[in-house]
Structure formats: C-alpha cells, structure tokens
Structure 1
Amino acid sequence: MAGTDPPPVRRLRRPLRDPESLADTQSGLDEVGETVWVEVIRKMDEVYNDLLQYEVVLEQKNAALEDSQQFIESVLASMSDILIVCNRHGTIQEVNDSLRRCIGQDESELRGRPLADLFADDGSRQRARDFFSAARPAAVQDCELLISGRDGSPLPVSLNCTPRLSGTGKLVGMVVTGRPVGELRRAYHALRQAHEDLKRTQQQLVQAEKMASLGRLVAGVAHELNNPISFVLGNVLAFRRYAARLQTYIEAVHSDHCQSSPEVDRLRQELRIDRIMADLEPLLDGMTEGGERTRDIVDGLKRFSAIDRSVDEPFNLADVVARAVRWVTRAGPSSFQVRVDLPAELPVTGSSGQMQQVLMNLVLNARDATCGCRAPLLEITALVADGTVSLHLADNGPGIEPANLSRLFDPFFTTKPVGQGTGLGLSISYGIVERHGGRLEASNRPQGGALFILSLPLAQSMP
C-alpha cells in the first residue's frame, strides 16, 4: 500500500574462522582444482582424438565422393545418347556433352531455359510441354521428336522421359534421354536402297541376257527369211510378166478381128475375167510392196543385231534417223507422232547399225515418256555448224526430274518399272556416241518436255 516502508533487508554474513581453518580449506581447494584440470585435459584429449578420427573419415569420404563425381562425369561425357535433367516445371538444370554437340550450344546457354525451346517445330515443342503438364507425369518411351541441330536443321531424336523423385518420393523433375535416329534411318534407307538396286540390277542383267539371246535369234531368223522373201519377189516379178502376156492374149481373142464363140463370151462374163484382169495389177503392186517392205525389215534386223567390228564406214545419218523412226512408230501406238525436219544428206563416219541403236533408243524413250499425253509428239531437227551435226530430239512429255539429270547416263539407272527397262539403253548409247567422237546431252525444255542433243562430227566430204 501507499506510505508503507519496505521491510528491512537481512544480509548474510560469512562466519568468522580462525587462520588454521582457512589454511586447511585452501589446501582442499587446490587438491580439487588439480583433479578437475586433469579430467578436463583428459576429456580434451579424447575430443581431439575423436576429431582426428572424424577428419580421417571425412577425408576418405571426400576422396570417395570426388572419385564418384569424376566417374559420373566421365560416364556422362562419353554417353552417345543425349541427357537432359529438368525440374518439375520443365526448366533445364543439367545437360551432357552429347546434347551440346548435337545442338552446338554451351551448358551456360542451356541451363535455365525451357526444355521446349530445344525443339524445331511447334508439334515437337507442344509434345515436350505435355511431358510436364500432369500433376504426376508418367514415363514416356520412344517418342520421336525433331530437335534443332547445330546448323539449325531439324534432327530427329527418339526420347525417353522418366520422372525424378526425391528421397521422400516427391516429384522434383524429369530426366530426358534420347538418341539421334537420323544416321540410323539414313543407314537403313541406304541399305534398303542398295538391296532394291541389287534386285533390280539382277533382273536387268537377266533381261539384258534375254535381249542378247533374242538379238542372236533375230539375226538367225533374218538370215533364214532372206531366201523365201527373194523367192516371193522373184515369183511376183515373173507373174507380172505372165499377167501382161495373158492380158495381151485375152484382148486378142476378144478383139473385133477374131470372132469369138458365144460360149467363150458367156464364160468371160461368168468368170468375171475383165474384173480379174483389172485387179491383177494392183494385187501385184501390193505383193511387190509387201515383199520389199519385208525385205527392208529383215535387212534392218540384220543390221541391228549384227556385231559391228568396223566403225569407220561412211553413212547418211538422215537415212538412219528415218529408219529408226519408221521402226518405232510401226510398233507403237498410232497416236504417237514424229516430225522429222532434216537435210537430205548428213554424211557421217562410223557404224550405221550402232547409230541406229542409239536413235531407236532415244525415240523409244520419247514414246514412253509421252504415253500419258493427249497428243504425244517428238520433233527431230538438225543444226549443222563448224563441221558438226547436232540432232535435237524434243518431246512434249513431262520432262526429266532435275535430281535424275546427273544420273541419266549411269548404267542400270532407270525410272521405269521393273521389267519395262534395263537401265542400260542410255548408258550404252552414251558410250557409242563417245566412240564416234560425239557427245550425247539431256536437258529439259523451258516450255516443257525433254530435249536430247546428239552431236557427231560430219564426214570430211561435207562442205
């Protein structure tokens, strides 16, 4: 309460002792202090020994940790597969050297970026975002996406994505591994293409052997056909002379100076002698023309199938062109038209049979190339300059694929289906033209269609 004094403070007083008691007390304290210090020093030694042991263990564990870290780094550096460690939001935390080599970027540039930024197209980026869209993402196996390569070109990779968990099982991120599949795919494609080429080459070789056997057979048949054709033409000529004599005789019998009997006149009307005599000349002309055409065909077969041992004989290139066009157009569809505008004389030196083979192959290729056109057409013209004749064979077909122009004269290369072409025609033609001192070129016309230019040196007699 107010105005009340506080109670007095009682002070404790140390009791007074005599000097002997004080001396005994000091001696006891000294003995106790020495014991305590000894115990303290012993405890300090124990603690120091424990610290030394802990330091040795810690150094051993640090050394083991460094070895483990170096081992893991060496494994990651030597991995051919790419490795990306992301947090649960899709941000890149760690990458390995394989990824850096693939995309040409440093780790400092990649760390902290979204994983989706590494991909080349919108579809791949969206698919990468889907890896982290769920609250508990599931593992992804063999997901093929396009990653941006070192030069900016898309690089296909096969990715595996696995959730990364903490020690308590909490999702902390994703581990993405992948393998570039471009090289493997190209190798597989090359192997498959080589296998297809090998099968096609085998079939083409079989077809070429068949054609060679057919050529030998045609040569033999052509030789055998010469004799009966000669017989037919000889008999037609003889029959033409006989017909003229019979015509003279019949006219004499039924002339006004010679009286014929009514029976003879009746037979003349009944047997239609006058019509027969009128048709006899056209029939003989047709037989002669057919025999001569057959003879020309046989002669052409002999020339085509014969083995040319000499290539230094003069011949008229215009005649060879006309013969090759006639052969192809007769065997092909009637809609295929060939316009030939050449000088009457184009003297060159070489093998007419081999050059006919070249021209027939070029005309056949033009016919096959224009088979899908409404009005298939091949135009053959010539340009004579500086002692060289250049034949231009231009068709109105779809032309030649630019990628195939450089391979057009390679052996066994063909764009035709298997069984319809050996891939040897243009290659053989190219070699024949080269042996004749000329050249064979192919290109596409600006207005559409293919253009083949066959250039040959003219004979010395050509002005």
Structure 2
Amino acid sequence: MEADRVTRRLFILFALAAGLVAVCALTWTLAWKSGIDTLRHAAAVRGDRTTAALRSTLERYESLPFIVGEHPLVQDVLVDPKPEWIDAANRYLEDVNRHARATTTYIIQADGMCIAASNWRDKDSFVGVSYRFRPYFIDAVKGGVGRFFGIGTISHDPGYYVSQPVRRGGKIVGVAVVKLNLEWFPGADSGEPLLVTDDHGVIFLSSVPAWKYHTMRPLPADVVASIDRTRQYARQIIAPLPAHVERVLQDDADIVRIGGGIGGGIGAPRYIETRRALGVPDWNLVTMSPVRPVVVATRSATIVTGFAWVSLCLLVFYWRQRRQRVKEVMQSRAMLQKAYAMLNERVAERTADLSQANEQLQREVQERARAEAELRAAQDELIQASKLAALGQMAAGITHELNQPLAALRSFSDNTRVFLERGQYAAAHENLEAIGSLTERMGKIVNQLKLFVGRARPRSLRSPVASALRQALALLAKRLAGVSVSLTLTDRTAGTVGKANTVGEPLVVPFDPHGAYPGLVAQCDDLRLEQVLINLIGNALDAAADAASPRIAIDIEAQAATIAIRVRDNGPGIPEDVMPRLFEPFFTTKEMGQGLGLGLAISSSIARDCGGSLVAHNEPDGGACFVLTLRRAQVSAARVAATDV
C-alpha cells in the first residue's frame, strides 16, 4: 500500500514536470516567432521611412547641376576661361550653393580640370584640381548623369556627387557637379544601427562610426582595385565586418552576429539584417534590429508561463489541502469563539484601568498648570521686591542728587529777589534761567525713580543700549564716585558707530553713553534692561569695594545679530564652589541685610525672557566678568536717518 502511494506520487511529479517542459517549449516558440515578426515589421516601417527621406534629399538636388550648366555664364567660361568670367562664375556658383544649401558646387572643363567652384575663397578650394579620374566626371563627359559617393581628394570630407554634362551648340564643353554632405543622415535615427552601402557593398553611411568603410561581405579583387583606382574612399582600408549569418529569413532578411572577432563570435550581439534597395543611385539601405529584446521578452514570457504552471499546480494542491483542513477549521472555530470572549473580558478590564490612569493624569496636568501659574506670579512678585530693595539702596544717592539742586535753587531765588529790588533785571533773568535748568534736572532725577518703581509699564521690546546704560550710570552715580569706569564699543559690523571698518576686522572705539548710536538697539524692554545693568554694575561695585584702586570696565560688542555687554571688575573673583549656584534665587555671599540673593536670578530670567543669556566667569588677570547677550533689533534706514538728524 505504501509502495503504491509512493509510485503514484512519483508518477504525478513526472507528469507535472513533463507538462512544465512542454508548456515552456511552446511558449518559447510562439513568443520567439511573434517577437521576430514584430521586429521585422518595425524594421520594414523604419526602412520605408528612412528610404523615403533619403530619396527625397537626393531627388531634390538631382536637377541642380543641369540648371547650373544651362546658365550662359557657365557655358561661356567653359568655352573661353577669361579671368573676369572665371571670377564671375565663382561668385555665381557661390550664390547658387548658398541658396541651395549644398556642400560645394563647381564646374569642370572637358579635360577634367576644375576652373570655378563655390569654395573658391577657401584654402582647400577645388579650383585648379583635376578630376578626370572620378567616375562622376567620366559618366557626365560621356553624356550621362554621374552619381558617386566618395571621400574628397582635397577636403577629405565624404560626400555624394551629382554631375550633369554642360553643352554648348550640341557639344559637351564641360561638367557641372554638386557635392552633398550626407553625414547627418545616420544620426536621424540612432536607436538601432542603420547602414547605407554602395553598389560594391561598402558601408559609407552608418549610425555606428566603427562600421563605416567596411563591407558586409568580402569584395572581389577587381572591385578593390577599382575602388583604389578611383580613390573613392581615399586612404581608408576597406575590410569586411566580423559578421556571421546565423539564420536566413524571408524577404531579404537574415539573423547575423556582428563582433567578437573575425566571423562573429558566439557571444557577439545578434541583429536582424533587413536590406532595401534605393533604386537610383544603386545603393542599399540596411537596418540592423537587435534581437536581444526579443530574446529577453521570450525568456520573460517563458519564465512567466513556467511560474503560472507551477502556480496552477500549487493552487490545485492547495485546493486539495484546503478540503482536508476545512473540518479542522470548523472544529477550531468553537475554541476561537471561546478565546475571543475571554479576550473581550480582558480588554474591558484593561480599558477600565486605562480610564482611571487617564483621569489621574489629567488631574496631575491641572495641578502642574496651576503650580506653573503660581510660580510665574511669585516670580513677578520677586522681581518687584528686588526693584524695591534696589530702590532703598538708591534712595541715598537720589537724595544727595536732589539736595544740591535744592540748595542752589534757594540761593538763586534769594539773589533774584535782591536783583529785582535793585532793578538789575538782566542778572535776575539769568538767575531765573538757572532756576529753570535746576528744576528740569530735578524732574529728570525724580522721573527716573518713578519709572523704576512702576509695575505695569508697557513693553516696547526695543531698548537703545546707550540710553539704558546712561540711566543705570546716573542712578548709581553716587556709588561710582572714586571708581575708575572705562566704556568701550567693539563694532564687528560696518555702520554701527558711523565709521568704516575693514571686513573681518573689528573696530574698537570709546563708548559715550550720551552719544547717538541709532543702530545699537537690543530686543528687550528698556526698563528691564536698565534693571539688569543696575544689578550687574552694582555687583561689580560691591566686588571692587575692597580693592586699592577699584576699577570697572563695561565693554559693548556689536555683532550682526547680537549685542553682548560685558561688565568686569578687579575684585577677588567668584569662588569655584559659588559658581554653580550663582544664579539660584536667594543665594548670596553678602552679609545679612545687604542683599536678598535675587538680583542675578532675576537678571538671568530677564535675559532668557528676551531670547538672550547671562553667563559669568573669572578673568585670567583677576576679577569677575558677567556677559549679557541679547538679540539685536533691526532698525530701518528711515528710522536711523531720523535719529541721526
């Protein structure tokens, strides 16, 4: 029983393999025949189109030599070659050749000497050259039409020559010749090789340059001697192509192999060679259609058919297996439904857990948002508290500034009353002007204090650096007494300080807070920038307080997109253990009552809010350096001009 089963399976496998071979062989035969027929039809259509184009070109110039020979000037110069007539004939032929768009037009005397040509101006002119050996001259002198393709003996350019006899009084007095350049012809359709052979079988036009001046078949010795005698192809070596006819088809078509050594090797490419006669002249048009696409298509069709046969066999096998497994599927369906019910229960439990987790997450998000809002509010309160603390430190300086104008104001008012009683009105007028100036100064001092205290001032986000630095220095004027302060401006872009600088080299100049720098504007609220500068300069004053000669340096560096303000002092510097916590809120190294530890934290927050940064480091020569970097605001040309005015 087991042996019968094995035998039956082997028989089935053998039958399937035999069927696969038969189907593939039939597919290969049909696909090959269809591909060859399609290729031959395409070659025939292409040959007809190309032949018609070539014939049209040749026929268009067929009568041009006859028309040239009928002109009286041409006949006169061939009979009596006077110099003035030769010059006129050259110009006439030049004009005819230009209008006809031929390569060269020339006339030859009966003895074979060219006396006038359209290229008479060129160095390689045909004038004065003997052509009695050329077949087209011989045919025309005998009274016929000469047609000849060859390489020029003077220009060494290949061309097609058409000649007609020139008659005068019934006698042939010379020959008119037109040369055409047909090198353009094979390039019109270079997708597949295209050849044109002469009456000897020599290839003189080819879309494959390496095949030119070869023959499709070996030439007899007398034909080779005739080609050499007429110098038809100049010094070209005429040799047969390495071609081998593999199969002869109908209607002047063969399957040939070209290349791979003499006679065409086994691995050489195959072509369908189709020949078509042009008639007059006695040329043949040969189209070479590669067979490889047909082979590829046939192979693909055979492979697809083989896969289809195998797929069909597998489908039948699958159908049989499916029938055997249908019962197993019916039995397992009940088990699957039970497992599906259990899965639904687990999904429901997991969904409930996810819902609870989602609700808890939403509560945490709400708490986080509320905490952030409270943090922002606390930060605003801390900023205001810092400003009030700084206000207390500045109160003494502002009081000192107000006491001096008040004392002067009292003195000027007393003097003015005395001057008025004495009738000295000029002196009184001067005192009144001084009183007005002092009043304006006191108003500015009080206004600075009012602006600093204000909480809800609108933010312009455009702060002139010079103005902010000037206000900060004014508020800290009392503490700056006795301290050496240097201010410099480094301009890395032309135009910031109104002076030209070499591209790539910075321009360093002293900085004047009272000067006009219309292009030096930072993207920051002016009041907040003043607050940062007050904190940085105040910290620098505290650090340099114990130095023998306290010094503060303020450097401003203008880049194309940023403005960096460096505040340096000659104090002891920042300890290494303090550096990591320098910008933490409520962290301070000052004694109790001298600071809250909020100045640098608030300044760093302001810098970040404005899109900038605040960093600190110790200088190599001693002292600390704080660098405030802000984005540079773009100022229009009109605004700069208005500021300059």
TM-score greater than 0.5 by the shorter chain: no
Q: TM-score range by the shorter chain?
A: 0.3 to 0.5
